[in-house]
Amino acid sequence: MTFWLIEVAYLVASALFVMSLYWMNDPKTARRGVGAGVAAMVVAVAGTLFNPGIVNWGWIAGAVAVGFLLGVPLSWVPLTAVPQRTAVSHAFGGLAAGLVGAAEFVLWQAHPESFTAFRTFALVAEVILGFLTFTGSLMAAGKLQEVRWIPQRPVTYPGQNATNIGLLGAAVLCGIALVWKPVELAFLFPVIVALALAFGVLLIIPIGGADMPTVISLLNSYAGLSAVAMGFVLENRLLIIAGALDGSSGLILSVIMCRAMNRSFTNVLFGAFGQVQQKAGPAETRTAKRETPEGAAQILGMASQVVIVPGYGMAVAQAQQRVRELYDELTKRGIDVRFAIHPVAGRMPGHMNVLLAEADIPYDKLIEMDDINPEMPQTDVVLVIGANDVVNPAARHDKASPIYGMPIIDADKARMCLAIKRSMNPGFAGIENELYFADHTYMLFGDAKVVVGDLVKQLSGGSGL
Ligand code: NAP
């Protein structure tokens, strides 16, 4: 009876996990997807608690309490910190898998018949992937959080790739030895753990803070694969299914992000992107034109087609509500306002969609890059709010630019461009943006929330527009 109860719970949980991913594909059903994911987890945990093999409820209650104590504050982080928060979750996932693997290894020593070649192989894979995900994810979170003692820039040294591959190779060789003689060579187990922990750190240090979101998604995939291996070790089908979903979705997301940045996986992992760029010659002295909120409000008020391009700066400023008010003011005047969404605007996939949805901007006004670009030449005003790399025309023509080949939103093709940012500082890729020096571009310097608020004030009657 209990067996069937657990099997049914696992079947329901697996179906809910699949549906959760499916629903999360679309902003309209994303909330349902999150609900299904939570329900799947609850059913999975509840089903597991029916396991007759449970020997100590006290430990389980303690672990649940610790999970709550850590998990609840993690849910309070601001949206801009979600990538690093996600990395911390993966670190816990990796640590859990690694520790379960270590516990099983110790328990099996008393029952050497448990060490079948396949299960020992799965256990080694679980431990290597789990522990490297643990330290790798912590390093990634630290880089994104700009922790002082973790350098943001890629740290490179000669022979780095060979060292890293050597370290991983050594862990794999120790693992093969363990599969061969798991009891006699048990002393190799802590060596594998140490090598995997070190590999996690060394894998991440040559990667710039800028590439961390892609790497976090890849680490998500490793955590999923270690859960698959754990499923084989514990002979638990649900873990195999959920881990495979996690592993494949993380990988697919990384591939989507790489494509949207026109980068390859090897370039992200080994390209040390984000190193200080050496200037070829003396910098040109170009000046950007400024505009005041009054002038900008007048320009916007006279337009019939406005496209807003949000970027990371809108997220930093938490300006989405003000942007909604601006949208309301402009649409009230019969102006057609749409939002151009670049797939990697911000710091995580869907970042802009989430923020704009939070401000209740209608989904049908959010237009994907490929659909909005052909309409740019007919657009009267494009308003760039805290975006930089995703509107940099250098990506189209400057072969020497680190973002060359990345698809961009063609803001430069609109009749006029207004750009809100605090300074002329570069964005994520660390490069100057020629759009801001173009003849038809006017800069509105200041925090996005303040400047958009000023525009709203001007349009809502303050200036009599
Ligand atoms: P960006 O290139 O990083 O530029 C953001 C701009 O916002 C900065 O130039 C900054 O200029 C401005 N800013 C910051 N705080 C602001 C504030 N409070 N008010 C007004 N402006 C502010 O951002 P993006 O154009 O969105 O491009 C995203 C970049 O991230 C791309 O290079 C992409 O490849 C990369 N990336 C994205 C993802 C993803 O999944 N979304 C993943 C990996 C990498 P000031 O300092 O002058 O204000």
Mean local confidence (pLDDT), 224-252 = 94
pLDDT band at residue 234, thresholds of 50, 70 and 90? Answer: very high
Strands 366-368 and 381-385: unpaired
427 within 8 A of 433, measured Cβ to Cβ? yes
| Ligand 1: nearest atom to the Cα of 433 | 9
> What average pLDDT is seen over the chain?
91
Q: Note the pLDDT tens digit of each residue in 285-296.
A: 678 999 999 999
- Residue found by looking up tokens 């527009």 in the block: 465
Please name the residue whose Cα sits nearest to atom 15 of ligand 1.
313
Q: Which of 269, 356, 421 to mutate to test the pocket of ligand 1 (most atoms within 8 A of CB)?
A: 421
Between 291 and 463, residue with greater pLDDT: 291
280 CA → ligand 1 middle, Å:
24
What is the SS3 assignment for 360? coil
310 CA → ligand 1 middle, Å:
9
pLDDT band at residue 246, thresholds of 50, 70 and 90? Answer: very high
Residue 464: pLDDT over 60? no
Cβ-count burial of 178 within 10 angstroms (0-12 exposed, 13-18 middle, 19+ buried)?
buried
Greatest mean pLDDT among 102-106, 254-258, 401-405? 102-106
| Ligand 1: nearest atom to the Cα of 406 | 34
Residue 142: pLDDT over 50? yes
Residue 463: pLDDT over 60? no
428 CA → ligand 1 middle, Å:
6
Which of 109-123, 279-293, 318-332, 420-434 shows the lowest mean pLDDT across its residues? 279-293
**Residue 422 has what DSSP assignment?**
S
Sign of the CA dihedral running 447, 344, 308, 414: positive
Told to judge if 389 belongs to the known catalytic residues of this protein, a careful annotator would answer: yes
**Exposure pattern of 413-422 as b/e (b: 16+ CB <10 Å)?**
bbebbbbbbe
Catalytic: which of 389, 410, 412, 454? Answer: 389
Mean local confidence (pLDDT), 244-252 = 93
Please name the residue whose Cα sits nearest to atom 48 of ligand 1.
422
167 within 8 A of 202, measured Cβ to Cβ? yes
Q: Note the pLDDT tens digit of each residue in 186-225.
A: 999 999 999 999 999 999 998 876 677 788 888 999 999 9
Residue 22: pLDDT over 90? yes
Instruction: Work out the percent of the chain whose per-residue pLDDT is above 70.
Output: 95
448 CA → ligand 1 middle, Å:
12
| Closest C-alpha to 373, from 354, 391, 355, 395 | 391
| Ligand 1: nearest atom to the Cα of 449 | 19
Sign of the CA dihedral running 138, 139, 140, 144: positive
264 CA → ligand 1 middle, Å:
21
Q: Distance between CA atoms of 411 and 307, rounded to whole angstroms?
A: 9
Q: Which of 252, 256, 344, 351 to mutate to test the pocket of ligand 1 (most atoms within 8 A of CB)?
A: 344
Ligand 1: list residues with CB < 6 Å.
Answer: 210, 213-214, 257, 261, 311-313, 316-317, 344-349, 351, 386-390, 420-423, 425, 427-429, 447-448
Q: Note the pLDDT tens digit of each residue in 262-280.
A: 777 777 777 655 554 444 4
Q: What is the pTM of this model?
A: 0.81
Residue 281: pLDDT over 50? no
